[in-house]
Amino acid sequence: MENKLVNIEIDGESIEVEAETSILDAAKKLNKDIPTLCYLEEKNLIGACRICLVEIENSGKLAASCITPVSEGLKIKTNSSRVRRNRKMNLEFLLSNHNIECPSCISNESCELREIAEEFGVREVRFEGKKSSYQIDQSTPSIFRDPEKCILCRRCESVCRDIQSVEAVQVFGRGFETVIKPSFYENLADSPCVLCGQCTLVCPTGALREKEYIEEVWQALDDPEKHVVVQTAPAVRVSLSEAFSGKSGEICTEKMVTALKKLGFDKVFDTNFAADLTIVEEANEFVERINQGGKLPLFTSCSPGWINFIEEYYPEYLDNLSSCKSPQQMFGALAHSYYLDNTEVEEKDLIVVSIMPCTAKKFEAQREEMAGDVDYVLTTRELAQMIKEAGFKFENLEDSNFDQLMGESTGAGAIFGTTGGVMEAALRTAYEKITGKELEEIDINGVRGFDEIKKITVNIDGLEVKAAVAHGLSNARKVFEMIKKGEEFHFIEFMACPGGCLGGGGQPLAADKEVLKNRMEAIYEIDTNKKLRKSHENPYIIKLYKEYLENPGSEIAHKLLHTKYKVRKI
């Protein structure tokens, strides 16, 4: 049945749209820009901020355009004096209870409240009086929460509830006492928060952002006694340039390496190398479970937000988790062993820094099971800030290559950065390990794309391997329901963030569907252009096993590269 069409008029222009389309969406079809603050497409439709007000000529009423549907014959004004006056007044009400410290605010370049205030020409706030007062929450190593900057848009609540199904933050109180805070707890550390950071991506004012370690890293770099090495995750190289050019999907690997060297890092290594290592170990683990009747399905273990989630909500499935550390932690463990054995650097002088697209990686680095592998984790946003502080013109930097020993990687290591990438990389290696034959169709398209849950069956020498991929934690819950209902799987990739690491909580802001699509295309371009595209073919991985780790799953490999998770409250 076709959707009914209705005729409406916006600022004197006629347009035909589907019935029940919001006024906001109808206006977009006419290229009319209605300002919004609380609105998030398909995620947060509550009309709370009242910044998107329009005037309905038919009734003479003002209405929030994001939640008001069109109807036949509707006549709308988006820019009348009454609309402008009320929008500005509502904005001033928000500003009157806002901690206005724009020059020193972490979000001053990306703050939507500041941008709209500038667009509206707000030069003073007419409403003075008592302001809400709250303590800053720095209880976790990952997320910084400043309730005094909150404008009650409820985007964080919406994303945490509907996209991640965690419900770590909720609205409490009424009137002036209204506050968004951890559900029934004072601090995030006491709440069920999994530290994925999706809330930081949608917060319009910086009330929720990553906990920064920039100053600690600067101090390490400035200390002549310290030898500071850095690793960079696959997703960072396809998103970092957005902080400078504003364009998404640009591959900036070589310029990123140059920037890190100019910042003063002694060695710049590639987390993709450790991703290749993870695949070799994980594929070996999968084959062993298949051959020896081990616990199936095997769950991937490289996403720390996902690890926090299963420990908190599905601990009965912990035995299904791969024992492999994430690439970040594998690299850290090797830096403190293999790397030190190949240099004259002393253990006490070594500092390991990670550049990650993820806020949960900050927590992962401090887990007691792996403490000491990695010293500091910076997000993509933090690295961009450091480059700006140093005064580099990123786009003008020359190209440089990663340092050797732990800097070479395959295309399989690169696709770790996107949903489906870990599964595809693992299947490339598992196929050849099981069959002893070369995989002809190296692109496994069934696990690619942004479908919420992807399921494929791969024939590996007569064995029908049933695999699944889920990104976003609400989709993880759906997969668990499938398992409980008896659906059979052998191998499942879970990623906490929508889009995988490409959409991580530490990535540049405003990651809409188009941005994620461009980043994904760039990741696969890196893979396609690599001479080697299977992790087990990386010559430096082969060398590592020959000289140090002996073979996949060996005693020393387990000591350095594997761990075990346990039931915990985050």
Provide CB contacts within 8 A for 183, sequence distance 6+: 167, 168, 169, 170, 191, 192
110 in the same domain as 28: no
Catalytic residue among 107, 110, 322, 354: 322
Together in a domain, 73 and 129: no
Q: Report the alpha-carbon distance of residue 514 to residue 401 in Å, rounded.
A: 29
Has residue 565 been placed in a domain? no
Q: Are residues 190 and 279 in the same domain?
A: no
Number of domains in the chain: 3
Whether residue 569 lies inside any domain: the answer is no
State whether 188 and 303 are in the same domain. no
Residues 418, 541 within the same domain? yes
In a domain, 176, yes or no: yes
Are 419 and 392 part of one and the same domain? yes
Could you confirm whether 109 is annotated as catalytic? Answer: no
The 10 Å CB-count burial string (b at 16+, else e) for 197-225 is: bbbbbbbbbbbbbbbbbeeebeebbeeee
CATH assignment at residue 51: 3.10.20.740
**Is the residue at 85 inside a domain?**
no
* 84, part of any domain: no
Catalytic pick among 267, 325, 361, 454: 361
Residue 167 annotated as catalytic = no
| Closest to 77 in 3D by CA, of 8, 151, 29 | 8
Out of 20, 369, 481, 521, which one is annotated catalytic? 369
Among 208, 243, 259, the domain-final residue is 208
The boundaries of the domain holding residue 163 are 91-208
Stretch (H or E) spanning 6:
strand 5-10
Q: Is residue 566 part of a domain?
A: no
Q: Do 405 and 299 belong together in one domain?
A: yes
For residues 338 and 286, membership in a common domain is answered with yes
Which residue is catalytic, options 242, 364, 382, 493?
364
Model confidence, pTM: 0.93
- Tens digits of pLDDT across the chain (570 residues): 467 899 999 999 999 999 989 999 999 999 999 999 999 888 888 888 999 999 999 999 999 999 999 999 999 999 999 999 999 999 988 888 887 778 888 787 788 888 988 888 888 888 777 777 888 999 999 999 999 999 999 999 999 999 999 999 998 888 777 888 998 778 999 999 999 999 999 999 989 999 999 999 999 999 999 999 999 999 999 999 999 998 999 999 999 999 999 999 999 999 999 999 999 999 999 999 999 999 999 999 999 999 999 999 999 999 999 999 999 999 999 999 999 999 999 999 999 999 999 999 999 999 999 989 999 999 999 999 999 999 999 999 999 999 999 999 999 999 999 999 999 999 999 999 999 999 889 999 999 999 999 999 999 988 899 999 999 999 999 999 999 999 999 999 999 999 999 999 999 986 689 999 999 999 999 999 999 999 999 999 999 999 999 999 999 999 999 999 988 765
Q: Is 52 a catalytic site residue?
A: no
Extract the runs of DSSP E, i.e. beta strands, from 156-263. Answer: 169-172, 179-182, 208-210, 227-232
Q: In what order do the strands lie in the sheet with 227-232?
A: 267-270, 227-232, 350-356, 376-379
**426, 508: one domain:** yes
| CATH number of the domain bearing residue 449 | 3.40.950.10
78, 102, 117 — which closes off a domain? 78
| Residue burial 412-426, b: 16+ Cβ < 10 Å; e: rest | bbbbbbbbbbbbbbb
Flag whether 83 is in a domain: no
Distance CA 477, CA 456 (A): 19
Interatomic CA distance for residues 569 and 438, integer angstroms? 44
Tell me, yes or no, whether 430 and 456 share the same domain.
Answer: yes
Which residues are CB-contacts of 262 (< 8 A; sequence separation ≥ 6)? 390, 392, 397
Asked if 369 is an active-site residue, the reply is: yes
Q: Can 285 be counted among the known catalytic residues?
A: yes
Q: In CATH, what number is assigned to the domain containing residue 167? A: 3.30.70.20
Q: Are residues 98 and 236 in the same domain?
A: no
Q: Catalytic: which of 105, 160, 497, 501?
A: 501
Do 380 and 417 share a domain, yes or no?
yes
- Distance between CA atoms of residues 205 and 224, nearest Å: 38
Closest by CA position to 164, among listed 545, 505, 525: 505
Computed on alpha carbons and rounded to an integer, the radius of gyration of the chain in Å comes to: 25
Is residue 115 assigned to a domain? yes
Separation of first and last alpha carbons in the chain: 48
Q: Which of 55, 285, 382, 424 is catalytic?
A: 285
Residue 232 CA to residue 354 CA, distance in Å, equals: 6
Domain boundary, last residue among 177, 208, 239: 208
